[in-house]
Structure 1
Amino acid sequence: MIDQLFLNNFKAFRSASIRLAPVTLLTGLNSSGKSTVLQSLALLRQSYDSGILMSIDGDTDSYGGFLLDGDLVELGTGQDLLHEDFASNPPGADPRISIAFTTTDKQQYGWTAQYVPEQDVLPLNLAIGPSDWRDAALFSRRFQYLQADRITPATTYPRSHHQAIGRGFLGARGEHAVNFLRHHAQDVVPEGHPLRHPEAGGHTLLDQVVAWMQELCPGVNLEASEIPGIDSVRLSFGFGGTAGLDSTRRRRPTNVGFGLTYALPIVVACLTAGPGSLILLENPEAHLHPRGQSRMASLIAAAASAGAQLIVETHSDHVLDGTRLAVKQGRLAAGDTAVHFFRGNGAGVEIITPTVAEDGSLSEWPEGFFDESENTLDQLLG
């Protein structure tokens, strides 16, 4: 599990060291650097998947690079990536862009790339880490990255055996989540598992997905099915049945609304997470009612209890409060949380990190940190 992330000359950060926990919440105003944290890890994974990330096994002939534009992130060229007030090391030298992290088992990993303004592949000139670096969760099948721009209601979704079944990857937009669920619908979620919902109608993955989706929309059920003869699958929703098979009236996602479809890939990602999983989430609260946002925080806490690490960018005080409640209720240890508030300070990005106590309280509440409701209420009552 990653416990510290280091960024140098990377987009919003001239130099940053960011603590990561089993549940890390990245909060702050728009364009304050939250997404950059997720993008740095996604960039490493994207470069690895493309086969060009430099080996860290001592092979000096194996030079690779950062692939800036790909399936996970599209960051442009070197001049888009380099921090505008970059630091040179040593002074006067060409700038370098680096991403590094340490893990809870005391391993260190790091990659440093040369700055090439007009290229979308930046050549690496340094990499450090253990010989078995590919076993890190960031480079394994246990990785998921779900962007804010996720799948929207549609009549069909792609059926890629390689992505959903071979790699177990839901897609950066969650586009393979429906096919993944179709294939794994009858997988068993065992008794006593932290992610097993107490109100689920059965022990299968589909039963659990339905139960958690009902936290977002009471009474909903769903069905994922293959469309014969074409490489597509169909998702349908029902209301008032059980797992969908005995519901008489099915509804297309296009007739239900954005919230359920938008949330489904996150529910599937969390329910299939386990020890060593790494999940990067952008705005899990999108298109959800405040109650659903709080329930989403409960699901994230449950996934962490199952051994996963989740790094979450959020603008929702309900996600924050749901996480704090999970701590107070003993479903998530206070030490297993990290909350970061990003804000510009005129000279870069300032990161403020309130700590969560065992009773769910925060050590500080900086100005601009989820205080808009209180500010508005003061004006209404003034």
Structure 2
Amino acid sequence: MLEQIGITNFKAFARQDIPLAPFTLLTGVNSSGKSTVLQSLALLRQSYEAGLLDESDEAGGFLLNGELVELGTGQDVRHETYVRHESSAVDDRDITLSVTKEGRRFEWRAQYGREDDLLRLLAHPNGLTISASYEPHSLFGRGFQYLKADRIVPAVSYPRSHHAAVHRGFLGARGEHTVNFLRAHQDDTVEAQSLCVPDVSSTTLLSQTDAWMQRLCPGVNLQAVGIDGTDTVHLSYGFGSGISASNRYRPTNVGFGLTYALPIVIACLSARPDSLILLENPEAHLHPQGQTWLAYLAVAAVAAGAQVIMETHSDHVLNGLRIAVKDGRIPAASTAVHFFRRKGQTAEVLTPSVGEDGTLSDWPDGFFDEWENSLEKLLG
């Protein structure tokens, strides 16, 4: 499990170390640094997959534009102000990213180039290096999933990529390979008991996907089939079962939120020990009850051995996590809640802790307090 991420001179942060837990919740106002945390991890993964994180390779560096993130050039990602490092050998403009696992810190430092979209890696003055052939943690393992906020929308068909869905087990940064992943793995067993809905006899991926999707929309069921003679897959929804079963409906004729949430559900159900799942705004287009259930699903993935880092604007997601702690589904020590807000030209991170009874140690100004603020105005 990743225990911390360190960010220097990158996007919202001049310098920041952010502790991570099995379930880490990132929340706060818009443009305050939440996405920067996820993008930092995605940037390392993207650069690693391109074979560019080996400091012994002169061609190595941070690949700013690729499958996971498209960040532009150096001037787009370097923080507006930059900090002075302890060593005079380090350029103040350099961008540094690090992750910590089991107390061991892995750090990469890249040279700033205003118009460069590949920021060249530099030897670290403290001798911290990492070989591209060495996988120290789940960030570079097979169980990695990163789902952006702009995910797949209802469509007539979806891409059919054996390499992505089967060989790599990857859903795509926008979830574009989710439907084909479900088609290819629908009969696989969901082995973790925590992920299986108790009153569903079948533990196949398709059956459990139906069961969790029914928490979002009662009675719904899915089918994912390949379209003969094409490189596409067809997704359809039905409602009810047996003689009361409805016709099959294409995604464009059912609620937008179902298709938008599907990649989140599949990512959690396919989690394995040492998986790393990065989720942006899983609550989008969902009813409040569905938002709470997605928090329960993410907690179940953590119980199955995965690490989840989730960005959210939903108090229903936060409360789902708090209820899960109170109910004993996840220990309070396995959670981290970070509240981001702007402070001058950089971001400030506040970290209220969750108690075993689901209470929070602190409630910073601006932290999910709009309901109370509105109620005060209504009653005033």
Q: Which TM-score bucket, shorter chain as reference?
A: over 0.9
Deviating more after overlay: 85-94 vs 17-26: 85-94
How does the TM-score come out when normalised to structure 1?
Answer: 0.94
**Alignment-derived partner of residue 379 in structure 1:** 377
1:108/1:130 contact within 8 Å kept: no
The equivalent residue for 2:67 is: 71
Q: 1:267 aligns with which of 261, 265, 270?
A: 265
Q: CA deviation at 1:126?
A: 2.7
Q: Does 1:109 align with 2:106?
A: yes
- Taking the TM superposition and a 5 Å limit, the aligned residue runs for 1:187-202 are 187-190=188-191, 193-202=193-202
| 1:88 alignment partner, SS class | coil
Q: Helix, strand or coil: the match of 1:133? A: coil
Contact 1:201 1:211 (8 Å CA) reproduced: no
Contact 2:240 2:246 in 1 (8 A): no
Distance, in Å, in 1 between the alignment partners of 2:307 and 2:275 is 6
Deviation at 1:200, TM superposition (A): 2.1
For 1:194, what is the secondary structure of its paired residue?
helix
* Counterpart-to-counterpart distance in 1, 2:69 and 2:181: 22
Correspondence for 1:97: 95
Q: How far did residue 50 of structure 1 move?
A: 1.6
Note the C-alpha offset of 1:107: 2.6
- Equivalent residue for 1:51? 51
The letter for the 2-side match of 1:266 is: I
* Alignment equivalent of 2:362, drawn from 355, 361, 364: 364
Aligned-partner Cα distance in 2 for 1:274–1:329: 23
State the SS of the aligned residue for 1:98: strand
Aligned residue number for residue 78 of structure 2: 82
Report the 3-state secondary structure (helix = DSSP H, G, I; strand = E; otherwise coil) of the residue aligned with 2:188: coil
CA separation of 1:61 and 1:154: change in aligned 2, threshold 3 A: closer
| 2:195–2:304 CA contact under 8 A, matched in 1 | yes
Q: For residues 203 and 152 of structure 2, what CA distance do their matches in structure 1 show?
A: 27
Matched, 1:119 2:120: no
5+ long unaligned stretches in structure 1: none
1:251 to 249, 252, 259: 249
Q: Would the alpha carbon gap of residues 227 and 323 (structure 1) be closer, same or farther in structure 2, given more than 3 Å must change?
A: same
Aligned pairs for 1:343-358 within 5 A: 343-358=341-356
Show CA shifts across 1:166-214 (max 9, x none).
Answer: 1000000000010001111011124x61101112241211110000000
Aligned partner of 1:324 among 315, 322, 325: 322
| Alignment partner, residue 220 of structure 1 | 220
For 1:291-310, list aligned pairs within 5 A.
291-310=289-308
Instruction: Give the partner amino acid of 2:66.
Output: G
Does the CA-based 8 Å contact 2:74-2:116 persist in structure 1?
A: yes
- 196-205 or 12-21: bigger deviation: 196-205
Post-superposition Cα deviations, 1:73-103, rounded to whole Å, max 9, x if no partner, equal 1111111111111013346945210000111
Aligned residue-pair number: 374
* CA root-mean-square deviation: 1.7
Provide closer, same or farther for how the CA distance between residues 347 and 135 of structure 1 changes in structure 2, counting only shifts above 3 A: closer
The alpha-carbon deviation at position 146 of structure 1 amounts to: 0.1
Give 1:14-53 correspondences, 5 Å limit: 14-53=14-53
**Could you tell me how far apart the structure 1 residues matched to 2:17 and 2:350 are?**
12
Task: Give the drift of 1:336.
Answer: 0.5
Q: What residue identity is the alignment partner of 1:271?
A: L
What secondary structure, in the 3-state scheme, does the structure 2 residue paired with 1:302 have? helix
- Give 1:157's aligned residue: 158
Give the Cα–Cα distance (whole angstroms) in 2 for the partners of residues 94 and 135 of structure 1: 28
Aligned-partner SS, 2:197? coil
Instruction: Give a deviation string over 1:283-307, Cα, whole Å, max 9, x none.
Output: 0000000000000000000000001
8 A contact 1:63–1:125 mirrored in 2: no
Find the counterpart in structure 2 of residue 145 from structure 1. Answer: 146
**Distance in 1 separating the partners of 2:121 and 2:288:** 44
2:4 maps to which residue?
4
Which letter does structure 2 place at the counterpart of 1:181? L
* Structure 2: 5+ residue stretches without partners: none
Matches of 1:200 and 1:319 in 2, distance apart?
24
Name the aligned partner's letter for residue 163 of structure 1: A
Alpha-carbon distance in 2 for matches of 1:238, 1:229 = 25
What is the DSSP-based 3-state SS (H/G/I as helix, E as strand, rest coil) of the residue aligned with 1:75? coil
TM (norm. structure 2) is: 0.95
| Residues in 1 aligned to 2:92 and 2:258: alpha-carbon distance in whole angstroms | 48
**Is the 1:274–1:307 contact (alpha carbons within 8 Å) kept by the matching residues of 2?**
yes
Matches within 5 A, 1:270-285: 270-285=268-283
Tell me the distance in 1 between the aligned counterparts of 2:57 and 2:180: 40
| Maintained 8 Å contact 1:23/1:311 | yes
Partner of 1:171: 172
Asked if structure 2 preserves the Cα contact closer than 8 Å seen for 1:107 and 1:129, the reply is no
Name the % identity: 60
Q: Distance in 2 between matches of 1:173 and 1:75?
A: 16
1:135–1:3 CA distance, 2 compared to 1 (3 A): closer
**TM-fit CA distance, 1:61:** 4.4
Q: Distance in 2 between matches of 1:196 and 1:70?
A: 35
